[in-house]
């Protein structure tokens, strides 16, 4: 498991209702980070239905979900679970920490 945290941005650069992408510096996994009403969540930036970046889709801050632009699969940004077909498997959720005025994340899978 990686103990190396990846810098995403300064806290003030990710406002409520916004998302930002980064790459885990250790595993090279794409990650999308969301500010949902001041709570931060991170998911692998890859649709589980078809290997495509979720960040290209629409983030619905009111519903706390993101929709893949390819086929309309939606995922809950808080836990990564699939909300509708054609996706039946969720996407990995990653930890987020706020430290030194910045947002950090990492791929914490073994």
Could you please report the per-residue DSSP string of 19-69? Answer: EEEEE-TTT--EEEEEEETTEEEEEESS-SSSS--GGGSEEETTTTEEE-T
Instruction: State the pLDDT at residue 3.
Output: 79
103: number of Cβ within 10 Å: 24
Give the closest residue to 40 by CA, choosing from 8, 68, 63, 62.
Answer: 8
pLDDT tens, 7-52?
A: 999 999 999 999 999 999 899 999 999 999 999 999 999 999 999 9
pLDDT tens, 49-74?
A: 999 999 999 999 999 999 999 999 99
Instruction: State the pLDDT at residue 29.
Output: 97
Domain regions of the chain by residue span: 6-105
- CATH number (3.40.50.720, 2.102.10.10, 3.40.50.12160, 3.90.920.10) of 6-105 reads 2.102.10.10
pTM of the model: 0.95
Is 1's pLDDT higher than 60?
A: no
Is 110's pLDDT higher than 90?
A: no
Q: What is the DSSP letter of 15?
A: -
């Amino acid at each position: 498991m990686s103990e190396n945290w990846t810098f995403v941005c300064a806290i003030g650069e990710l406002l409520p209702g916004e998302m930002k992408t980064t790459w885990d510096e250790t595993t090279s996994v794409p990650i999308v980070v969301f500010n949902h009403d001041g709570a931060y969540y991170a998911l692998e930036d890859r649709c589980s239905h078809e290997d495509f970046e979720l960040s290209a889709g629409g983030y619905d801050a009111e519903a706390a979900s993101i929709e893949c632009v390819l086929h309309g699969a939606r995922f809950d940004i808080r836990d990564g679970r699939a909300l509708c077909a054609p996706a039946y498997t969720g996407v990995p959720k990653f930890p987020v920490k706020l430290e030194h005025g910045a947002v950090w994340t990492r791929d914490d899978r073994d």
